[in-house]
Amino acid sequence: MDAVGIAKAVVLGVVEGATEFIPVSSTGHQLLVGHFIGFKSPNNTFEVLIQLGAILAILTVYFRRLLGVALALPNDPRARRFVTGILVAFLPAAIVGGLLSKYIKFYLFNPWIVCATLVAGGLILLVIDDTDLNAEKDDVFDFSLPMSLKIGLFQCLAMIPGVSRSGATIVGAMLMGANKRSATEFSFYLAMPTMAGAFAKDLLDNYKNLTADDTGLIVIGFITAFISALIVVRTVLDYVSAHGFRLFAWWRIIVGSLGFAGLIIFG
């Protein structure tokens, strides 16, 4: 584990944490950045495992609220519906990911697909942000189970790198009647079981192939992902409520376009 490898792990950790909970695709950004800085991990294990840092950032920020939900479960029907809704929304990705994750990594994890989906997703976000969807839900505790299931089906689209897990779930929630803030917050909560499941599966599949250097780089990426995600999670809900998604949409379009240019020029 040399200084260059450590620096690359730090960069990718910051990228993961900064992009995981906004609708720009953390996996897509990691694949593009990793491609251009020459970082390679066996079976993209590094990129998946450092997501644990982002998960812990969410748990840190929402610890008191999550504890309150847990304590309210025996007596509060809304708390039970909320937890059940998160689990229902998680199921489609768990099933599809369990069955197809190896094929998705093999066929879809390449920078050309990332650039295409970044641009396409940015255009979709611009349309959604400018469309009056007649939002009726402003509290994640009021999301019905059928609504949660439909959001979970949208999340499956994010298995295509560059689509964005948060982007797919936010757009899905808004199309189901959620306002921008509650759609984004539901995406935060849904990230916890989804990313934890992806982490556990990838670790189980690949832990035997990890070297001491691989483990060290993953730890570095985990720490930097935690720090950058902590900053983003504390600020993004207020930003989205005030300004919507146009910044993220244009960011996707610009990054995807620059990525195409870089691939054409540098390969």
DSSP per position, 183-241? HHHHHHHHHHHHHHHHHHHHHHHHGGG--HHHHHHHHHHHHHHHHHHHHHHHHHHHHHH
- Name the pTM for this structure: 0.89
Q: How many CA atoms lie within 13 A of 195 on its CB side?
A: 28
**pLDDT tens digit sequence for 67-76:** 999 999 999 9
How many domains are there within the chain?
1
- Smallest Cα–Cα separation from 15: which of 261, 264, 251, 267? 251
Asked if residue 54 lies in contact with residue 16, where contact means CB atoms within 8 angstroms, the answer is yes
Residue 133's pLDDT is 84
DSSP state of 50: T
Residue 43's pLDDT is 74
Residue 47's pLDDT is 85
Residues 6+ apart with CB under 8 A from 63: none
The DSSP bridge partners found for residue 178 are 137
SS3 137: strand
**pLDDT tens digit sequence for 226-241:** 999 999 999 998 999 8
Residue 143's pLDDT is 95
Domain span including residue 31? 3-266
d(CA 148, CA 85): 5
Asked if residue 54 lies in contact with residue 14, where contact means CB atoms within 8 angstroms, the answer is no
Residues 6+ apart with CB under 8 A from 42: 206, 209, 210, 214
Residue with tokens 């998946």: 48
Residue 27's pLDDT is 87
DSSP state of 176: T
Q: Would you state the structure tokens that stand for residue 92, as one six-digit string?
A: 């489609």
Handedness of CA 191, 197, 198, 200 (dihedral sign): positive
* Low-confidence residues in the chain, pLDDT < 70: none
At 164, give phi and psi (nearest 5°). 90, 120
Residue 200's pLDDT is 87
